[in-house]
Amino acid sequence: MTEDPWASLADAFVDGAYATVKGRVRTYVLHRQLLRHLPPPPAPVLDVGGGAAHQSVPLARLGHEVTVLDPSAAMLARAEQRLRAEPEDVRRRVRLVEGAGEQADVLTRGRRFAAVLCHGVLLYLDDPGPMVEAVCRCAGPGGVVSLMALNARTLAVRPALERRWADALAAFDADSEIGVLGARTRGDTVEDLSALLHEGGIEVESWYGVWLFSDWTELPLDTTDVAAVAEVELRAASRDPYRQLSRAFHLVGRRAEA
């Protein structure tokens, strides 16, 4: 049996990261940005590295047919747990598949999707190329590819705000860091990922920021107006210079119609 490297982090992701103000803002902002590019429901959507289905469940509620593909049995178990709280019509629109994202086209039996999501996955890979190639292969004619990655150009901000000045100096020339969950994470640029999408037959339509203000500040969930924070982040995410300063970025491309 293959060891699940994410089993020890599943609770930290679901009960920790996603349950914070920052986690809720991420889900909301990405959802709103996605709606600008997705076709109306029902449409087949593949969420590669979809974990506990935080991004997928809101799409299923709208009527989309979502396949969540993830290599971690522990994360998919948390997705099943979340789905049990949903109405039956939402549950039956979500399919959970265990496996590596690099084999997405094989694991989905060559199906082509109207949208393929890969959010918060590339930062844990040494080389984003194989994953981006696989994601592109799964997008059908006119299909959307949505990537969320760590912004390599803002790695010095967090250590500077935490007054770790030596770490901040080193981060200007770094391409990775130790993330909040203790795992090493690697940064990307809009330009580099756009080039990989182009190689896969996907042309970029738009790119957005994801976190700016809510990433650099610890906001207590019980006393924070999360909806207000999310709206501020959403506005900043599509405007320069704010989006350029964001902690992560959201890149959306599309395959040409046949």
- Quick one: pLDDT at residue 215? 83
- Tell me whether residue 162 is in a domain: no
CATH number at residue 225: 3.40.50.150
Predicted pLDDT of residue 245: 95
Residue 182 has pLDDT above 80, yes or no: no
Percentage of the chain modeled with pLDDT above 90: 83
Does 166 map to a domain?
no
Read off the pLDDT of each residue in 53-59 and give the average, rounded to a whole number. Answer: 95
Cβ within 8 Å of residue 120, ≥6 positions away: 49, 148, 248
Domain holding 125, by residue range, is: 7-151+184-255
Q: Please report, for residues 56, 59, 68, 156, 254, the alpha-carbon distance to residue 142 in angstroms, rounded to integers and kept in the order given.
A: 20, 19, 21, 38, 6
Residue 161 resides in a domain: no
| pLDDT, tens digit, 9 for 90 and up, residues 183-211 | 789 999 999 999 999 999 999 999 999 98
- Identify whether 163 is part of a domain: no
Q: Is residue 230 part of a domain?
A: yes
Name 228's Cβ contacts closer than 8 Å, sequence gap at least 6.
none
Under 8 Å between Cβ of 150 and 185: yes
In a domain, 176, yes or no: no
Helices (H), the chain: 10-11, 21-35, 56-62, 73-83, 88-91, 104-107, 129-137, 157-161, 165-171, 190-199, 213-216, 226-237
Q: Locate 5 and state its tokens.
A: 């490297």
For residue 40, pLDDT over 50 is answered with yes
pLDDT average, residue stretch 128-143: 98
Whether residue 175 has pLDDT greater than 70: yes
pLDDT in tens, 224-249: 999 999 999 999 999 999 999 999 99
The least confident of 12-16, 57-61, 221-225 is: 12-16
Domain annotation covers residue 204 = yes
Q: Tell me, what's the pLDDT at 249?
A: 98
Q: What pLDDT is recorded for position 7?
A: 73
Q: In total, how many domains does the chain have? A: 1
Residue 1 has pLDDT above 60, yes or no: no
Asked if residue 96 is part of any domain, the answer here is: yes
